[in-house]
Amino acid sequence: MPVPDPNFPSGPYPVGQHIVPPPRPASPSTASYRLNHLMLRIKDPEKSIRFYNDCFGLHTVFIFNAGPWTIYYLGPRDTSIRTLGTSKGLLELYHIPADESLEYANGNEYGKAGVGFGHIGFTVPDVGATVERVKSFGFEVLKPLGEAEERNMGLPDNVVKGEQGEVSKGYKHVFRQLAFVRDPDGYWVEIVPQVVESP
């Protein structure tokens, strides 16, 4: 009989409750591993740089022309090319001109190919002010602050219609505190408060 993994307790899980596994035991093999970056393919570097740098405060750490494509590496303002290996919160943007006629998939839009990738999340001190900032730059707000409609949760139609059960009130309470906007390539970007209030 397999030994249960405390970091992945078996379900089913109670609706509307956080399951908080104990911290994983120290692992010398992975002690210095960190999630470093996420890569997105983009169509218009100028629009994407404006969105991520001007709306969300990242800065361009470097630009690298790889020949058939160009890489834009973005990160927090205290990041430099020398500190990339120890930095967190980096975003790598690939501009591939050969992809001009190819539509990139967004995992939140059911009915299209590519369901899987969901969104990028930014923590901010004031979600409402950040939404207004994004709007002032002309970018689309997908889910405004204060709303908790299932249709804005990136879910398949049968879940939105309630055929799989009701979304928990606790999740809806948290979801009202968040907002979602769309970046220039259609990717969803979540705006999260630094402190999420409990129900």
- Computed over its alpha carbons, how large is the radius of gyration of the chain? 19
Whether 190 sits among the annotated catalytic residues: the reply is yes
* Sheet strand arrangement including 59-65: 37-42, 90-95, 70-75, 59-65
Q: How far apart are CA 66 and CA 84, in angstroms?
A: 18
- Residues 6 or more apart in contact with residue 112 via CB below 8 angstroms: 105, 106
Task: Assess contact for 178 and 127: CB atoms under 8 A.
Answer: yes
Residue type, 111: G
Q: Say how many Å lie between the first and final Cα of the chain, rounded.
A: 39
Task: Assess contact for 51 and 139: CB atoms under 8 A.
Answer: yes
Catalytic residue among 92, 149, 166, 190: 190
Active site residues: 190
